[in-house]
Amino acid sequence: MIYAKKLEYYQHLYTHYQGMMFRVCRIYGQGDEEFMRDLYQDISLALWESLDHFEGRSQESTWVWNVAQKTARYRLRKRMTESAWVQTGLPEGVEEAIADTPPPDEEESDIEQLYKAIAQLDADDQLLVTLRLEEKSYAEIAAQMGLQEGALRTRFNRIVQQLRQLMESPRGNNN
């Protein structure tokens, strides 16, 4: 791909899907602002680097989502491996206390609580919820995930019930 065209297409993707990229960062960042910023940069770079491989066989949004998910999972695994070897940061319990302190804006608190609950779901359920937040139709999601639409709707209803339970428990019960 010619550099000028690649840059133009990248800018188009970045402009249209930065919200989706940010939501992936929030899910995988679990409240760690620095990690979310780093992850956002990593996803942006991965998008640029993989742009030459996009063949148009899927929708742009699906492709960007997959790049973001794969990058986020890789970074999270890498982070978890590094943290197992290097113990840094605040003393035990302090980070949880800070994370449990609600922000002054109550609406933001609800959003944070939702993202924390979503982060407690397994990866496929996180994908489903995030795609619905992206306002994808059940038919689009079913096709992407290889499921029947009826089964997907049932699964989504169960996930919504699970999220309600997680959010009703004290502070999302981040276990």
Across all residues in the chain, what is the average pLDDT?
A: 77
The reply to whether 61 and 98 lie within a common domain is no
Asked if 36 and 26 count as a contact pair (C-beta separation under 8 A), the reply is yes
- Same domain? For 170 and 121 the reply is yes
Q: Quick one: 53 and 65 in the same domain?
A: yes
pLDDT tens digits for 36-85?
Answer: 899 999 999 999 999 888 888 888 888 888 899 889 888 877 776 665 44
Q: Which domain range does residue 147 map to?
A: 91-175
Tell me, yes or no, whether 37 and 63 share the same domain: yes
What contacts 170, CB < 8 A, 6 or more positions away?
Answer: none
Q: In whole angstroms, how far apart are CA 107 and each of 110, 112, 145, 163, 173?
A: 5, 9, 31, 17, 19
The confidence score (pLDDT) of residue 60 equals 86
Do 79 and 9 share a structural domain? yes
* Sign of the CA dihedral with 4 first, then 54, 151, and 130 last: negative
47, 84 Cβ separation under 8 angstroms: no
Chosen domain end from 72, 88, 104: 88
pTM for the structure as a whole = 0.54
CATH code for the domain in which residue 124 is found: 1.10.10.10
pLDDT at 88 over 60: no
pLDDT in the model for residue 158: 92
Asked if 37 and 116 sit in the same domain, the reply is: no
Query: Do residues 83 and 89 make contact, with C-beta atoms less than 8 angstroms apart?
Result: no
Our count of domains for the chain comes to 2
Q: Are residues 11 and 75 in the same domain?
A: yes
Residues 137 and 113 in one domain: yes
Tokens for 38?
């780093």
| Same domain for 97 and 68 | no
Which of residues 40, 66, 88 is at a domain's end?
88
**Last residue in a domain, options 66, 88, 110:** 88
Tens-digit pLDDT profile for residues 106-142 = 444 566 777 778 888 887 888 788 778 777 888 888 8
Give the model confidence (pLDDT) of 135-171 as tens digits. 788 888 887 777 899 998 999 999 989 988 888 876 4
- Looking at the structure, do residues 80 and 6 belong to the same domain, yes or no? yes
pLDDT of residue 101 exceeding 80: no
